């Protein structure tokens, strides 16, 4: 399989790194070679944060080249302009407008809802997603995040 590239961007505190941790874990569980990189910037002050996941049969570098991102997901619409140059022509852009935010039960779970929207475009079995979610969240937060993931995937 050729290398696929996913970039997730947002603001500090929105859970960008959590999304890509779960994503990388799920893809690794599928047997792919997975590389991940992060740019924190001013993340502690609400500044831009982005994280990149590359996966395939063999991945040499963790960095997504400009114009080669297959899926670009942003947790805050202000970040589209910041990272759009990464998106390839014909690539998939996912924004908060693409998920049912009115059904969001907690603002901090938007990241998991966006992850569900990303999952629609990947060939990963439900059991694998569930295993990756269960590894990422403590028991008290797991059901909420499972529900938000499912809503995002619809």
- Which segment of 8-17, 44-53, 88-97, 103-112 scores lowest on mean pLDDT? 44-53
Q: What's the mean pLDDT in 100-107? A: 91
Instruction: Provide the domain count of the chain.
Output: 1
Q: What is the extent of the structural domain holding 134? A: 4-153
Q: What is the per-residue pLDDT for 44?
A: 57
Q: What's the mean pLDDT in 128-139? A: 96
Q: What is the per-residue pLDDT for 105?
A: 92
CATH code of the domain containing 79: 3.40.920.10
Residue 140, pLDDT above cutoff 90: yes
pLDDT in tens, 31-81: 999 999 887 665 556 678 899 999 999 988 888 889 999 999 999 999 999
DSSP letters spanning 79-142: GHHHHGGGEEEEEEEE-GGGS-GGG-SSGGGHHHHHHHHHHTTS---HHHHHHHHHHHS-HHHH
Q: What is the per-residue pLDDT for 150?
A: 96
């Amino acid at each position: 399989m050729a290398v696929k590239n996913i970039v997730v961007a947002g603001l500090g505190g929105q859970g960008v790194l959590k999304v890509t941790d779960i994503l990388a874990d799920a893809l690794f569980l599928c047997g792919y070679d997975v590389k991940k990189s992060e740019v924190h910037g001013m993340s502690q002050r609400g500044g831009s944060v982005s994280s990149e996941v590359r996966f395939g049969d063999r991945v040499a570098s963790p960095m997504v080249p400009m114009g080669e991102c297959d899926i670009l997901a942003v947790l805050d619409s202000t970040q589209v302009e910041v990272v759009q140059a990464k998106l390839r022509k014909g690539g998939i852009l996912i924004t908060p407008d693409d998920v049912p935010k009115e059904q969001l039960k907690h603002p901090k779970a938007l990241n998991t809802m966006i992850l569900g929207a990303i999952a629609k475009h990947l060939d990963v079995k439900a059991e694998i997603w569930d295993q990756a979610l269960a590894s990422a969240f403590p028991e008290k937060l797991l059901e909420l995040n499972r529900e938000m993931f499912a809503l995002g995937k619809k």
